Amino acid sequence: MKFLIPGGAGYIGVHISCMLLKNGHDVVIIDNFSNSSIDSINSLEGLAKKKVTFYEGNICDQSILIKIFQAHKFDAVIHLAALKSVSESILKPKEYFYNNCEGTFCLLGVMRSYNVKNLIFSSSATIYGIPEYLPIDENHPLSCINPYAETKLLIEKELKAIALSEQNWNIVSLRYFNPVGAHESGLIGENPKDIPNNIMPYIVNVANKEMPYIYIYGNDYDTPDGTGVRDYIHVMDLAESHLLALNFIGMQVINKRDITPDKDNIGFHAFNIGTGEGCSVLELIETFEEVNNVRVPYQYSSRRPGDVASCYANVDKSSKVFQWTAARSIKEICFTAWNFKQQHR
């Protein structure tokens, strides 16, 4: 089968692409390198031992999408392309709404024109806002507190509307919690261009002595050690969930799990993708130090606006439907993240 992956050169995209290629499928990637580089494509090809068809461009550009769809017949689209920094979205909301929302609407229009109606969408747990209860299930109220989350929620609303108003759309929205870690080979992983937005690149940069210490924002939360608790999921587990989502909508892309493809799973479906377990920031740092025998100095700072004490998933729905749970531990997350950094100094 052949899959289009907008944003496929990014951190999550290369891991999904790698897993699809290893399972005998073809991928076509479009990416504008806003937070990635051609190096990730080269590493992916080396790891998969297979050439990858790649287009440099933005999904807001309808002409390049038409060119791609004219050249390839796709079985599905795995849509990852987005600006993704919560803090930056507050400073540049217009840019986020244009790139994330308009880009998605442009992509959907071209998909419709070429009768490609199978879509896996990269959503986010940020659409739940401040948790009203824990763990968070898919029925939790949706309430955004930043423009990035608003873009994800707006896109989900559009996808639901399309699924209701048009026939034969198969859409799965995967609501990510906190992807971390790297491929076990160390060839692909998280390597942001600029100042990291996520915690793990900060940790590895401090461990590598590129920064003197990491700030822990808040040590007075109502949590076991006072620091924020999050649901950290290994990126390879996250990648596998996309293949199982494709199985769910009728494509036999992976034989590893006991899930029967069902072409009757039309419409819109949302799933939490996490581990179902919380890990504090301090626990993550201490585990990283223990596993890799390195020091990660830290300093406490005041809480950031909008941060919550705890946020972790209820994964009963994905576990039941996909017959799947995240398998890799926090220790594996820490080991693979440092292994990747060691190979990309």
Query: For residue 125, what is the DSSP state?
Result: G
Of the candidates 27, 25, 40, the one whose C-alpha atom is nearest the C-alpha of residue 78 is: 27
Report the DSSP pairing between strands 118-124 and 170-176.
parallel
| 202 is a catalytic site residue | no
Range list of H helices, 98-198 = 103-113, 147-165
- Exposed/middle/buried for 51, CB within 10 Å: 0-12, 13-18, 19+? exposed
Reported as half-sphere exposure (CB side, CA atoms, 13 A), residue 252 has a value of 3
The two structure tokens encoding residue 195: 């100042």
Query: Residues near 111 by Cβ (< 8 Å), separated by ≥ 6?
Result: 69, 77, 117, 119
Catalytically annotated residue among 11, 96, 128, 148: 148
- According to DSSP, the residues that pair with 53 across neighbouring strands are 28
8 A C-beta contact, residue 232 and residue 330: yes
Please, where are the H alpha helices in 174-315?
A: 199-207, 235-248, 281-292
Beta bridge partners of 299: 215
Which residues are catalytically annotated? 148
